[in-house]
Chain A
Amino acid sequence: MTESDKRTMTLNLTAREMAVLEQLAAAKDLSKTGVMRLALRLLQAVDSKIRMGQKLMFEDEKSKEKSELVLI
């Protein structure tokens, strides 16, 4: 995608949401915009899999216990 294809939006976040966004940006070594774009792509990919009848599971590496994350 070229720069001219991009659209600008204003995003209103609560102080807590902004704090989390800043924390994630630091942890992921990304800009805040980068985190939001990553979140969008990840949510779309997960949603697509769930629509196909698949489940999103987390597994504890040590205990091998699995838990399902249910998205609304």
Chain B
Amino acid sequence: MTESRVFLRKSETNELVESSLLDEVTDHHLAMWNGSWRPAMEAYCAGRVLRDKPEDHHWDWKWKANEWRPLLGYHSFAIVCENDLQGLMVASDFKSARLQAQFGKPIVYVEFVATAPWNRPELQNPPRYRGVGTVMVAAAVELSWDLGYRGRIGLHSLPKAEPFYRESCGMTELGKDAAHQNLMYYEMTDNQAERFRQK
């Protein structure tokens, strides 16, 4: 497991806080998810109707971990800051690009990515930290570079995250995917990845 130094922005003070990006979700991270993230999500969802719950409220990261862990083609990431879990991501490396300019070439596909409930403005205002999504997209791009995929990545976005991928990350929108719960599909080309890395 490799630990990289990254920075999140503390909302209250606007300071950058040193954090750790780990390229493997361990049992310790899953215990943190179960001990603090999950109860915070459940507390927020209690008494709310389905449409008012976060789109990922039902994601069980322990269950997901059992699926991806034995497989070489899956890569998991965790962000820890001030001894708390701040974000989780799982990406696969054997899917192909759909965008015409890179059609058929392998991409890193972001299967699941989520920030902790206390980092979401709709759950906690102000959120504790900002920047988890950007760090995770950067991690996916770096993984793509390491694999020889030149930074190409792809993902299906939950509706509320669409502006982030389109505007902040500069990804290309390829339309809603009927085969994937009608979620919007995005891809980042090697050129877009280069621009994203320079930000």
Residues on A facing B (Cβ under 8 Å): 27-31, 34, 38, 40-42, 44-45, 48
Contacts and interface: CB of A to CB of B under 8 A. Distances in A.
B73 A28 contact: no
B106 A45 contact: no
A30 B72 contact: no
Contacts of A27: 104-105
Contacts of A48: 70-71
B148 A31 contact: yes
A28 B150 CA distance: 11
Contacts of A38: 93-94, 106
A52 to B, nearest CB: 9
Interface residues of B, number: 15
B92 interface: yes
Sort A-B residue pairs by CB-CB distance and give the 6 closest, nearest first.
Answer: A41-B73, A42-B94, A41-B72, A34-B148, A45-B73, A41-B94
Contact of B72 (A28, A29, A34, A44): A44
B148 A30 contact: yes
Given A41-B73, A45-B73, A45-B74, 8 more contacts: A28-B104, A29-B150, A31-B148, A34-B147, A38-B106, A40-B72, A45-B71, A45-B94
A38 B93 CA distance: 8
Contacts of A34: 147-148
Interface residues of chain A: helix, strand, loop or mixed (majority): helix
B47 to A, nearest CB: 36
Contact of A44 (B71, B104, B105, B148): B71
A28 B93 CA distance: 13
A15 B73 CA distance: 28
A27 B105 CA distance: 7
Contacts of A28: 104-106
15 contacts: A27-B104, A28-B104, A29-B105, A29-B148, A30-B149, A34-B147, A38-B93, A38-B106, A40-B72, A41-B93, A42-B73, A42-B94, A44-B71, A45-B92, A48-B70
B68 to A, nearest CB: 10
A44 to B, nearest CB: 6
A41 B104 contact: no
B94 A30 contact: no
B71 A41 contact: yes
Nearest to A42: B94
A29 B104 CA distance: 10
A44 B105 CA distance: 19
Nearest to B147: A34
B149 to A, nearest CB: 8
